[in-house]
Structure 1
Amino acid sequence: MKNLSKMILVLVAAFPLGAAAKKPVDLTVLRQSGYQTLIATTDQTPRMTLASEVWSLSPASVLGIVAFVDAKQKADKVRAEYDVRDPAQYIAAALGRETAAALGITSSDQPSGLESSFSSVHLTLRSAKELAATYGTGALVINVGTQNWFADTVGKDRYRVSYWAKAQVVDTNTRTVLASKECQAPLKKRDVAPELSAMLAGDAESLKFELHEAANYCLDVFRKGLFSGAAQPQ
């Protein structure tokens, strides 16, 4: 699994992650639209993948077998054992609170409730019609979806996290996407990448930190890419 990152990057290059982004929506226009509430939600979580070298650090691994265990199954076990969460809900909740405050309305976190999918790459988010049918009229919806997330080795003793996400702003009255933006967190270079041996230590704090750092990067991208005008979310 040393070529895991190359395999996924080739897949993403062959199938671009979603349609072109829509331009930012003006917050002044949103204030005048009479929304009653803001819903912050996420899309279905794609399955995280981990390289064999990463999983071999886990106490649950079995020598001689671990190299043949599917990367998705390994990540599922790591997520369950260490409570590693999809960063999308954190991004959606933070962006929802900030945007609602800027608009002077209330916000509500609404996890999708969808089970993680078998696919490791998601190309699209739920449609505006689906979101309107789920959350009803009169709402502004911020929907964030992780499109791909994985951890791979860098050299022999380090690792790095790769994270892609997309966010959209939806009007449930008109059932339209007002703005959308994609984000790819930058990959860390080998000399600053964390040590592989520390990845799952201490309740996987290193892995969680790397994912949180990627999430904050995309949160800032979405703040600037989804909204324009005075008092942008911050």
Structure 2
Amino acid sequence: MIEQGGLGQKIKALRTAAGIPLSVMSERTGYSVSALSKMENDRLGLTYDKLTKLTNALGVDIGSLFTETPQTAAYAGGRRSVARKGEGRSINTGLYDYLYVSPELSHKRIVPIKGRVHAATLDEFGPLIRHDGEEWIYVLDGVLEVHSEFYEPEILEPGDSIYIDSRMGHAYLSRSPGGTEIIAVCTEQPGTLGYGDQLATDQNPQASAGKKRARKPRSR
């Protein structure tokens, strides 16, 4: 299992190698320099929303955090990855245990995660989280309590699932002793212009403008 230390050190190494000061990372992510320092020094949990912001700010794929070997080319045809039971890269954030599946594939359109939710109250969980994209959560074992910004809490039992817009504040709590086991599938929102995308479009204003137009709020 990769504990928080492995991730914090990897993020710091990537940032240092890229010559990006903490002050610039703060501007790109919205996190304070103090919070970023705590993340790199294993004193602040790195949940999925934080990881996506940090990797976007670094201009790297999230899979870069979970493998020491070169990743499969981003758009190679016919890619595949077989993951046997328990295989993947595991981390513990305190609130969740995460198992990232098929981490060797870079730039996946979906991020499959098997997890165990431990937080039992909103006070323990902290502020609702939000990030780009959408996600589907399926309960394998235990009872899950789903809080979201615009809806009343939902109680999910084994076999139940929920699909949400990840930009809406949300939190997952366990109502079962020992935690609740879930499958999560997260995806980036089509047209999202993260910092990593910006690196590729700085020299192409027309492409950048197209992506910005794609981010206009949908009519309700």
TM-score (norm 1): 0.25
TM-score (norm 2): 0.26
Structure of higher RCO (CA pairs closer than 8 Å, 6+ residues apart)? 1
User: Which structure dedicates a bigger proportion of its chain to helix?
Assistant: 1
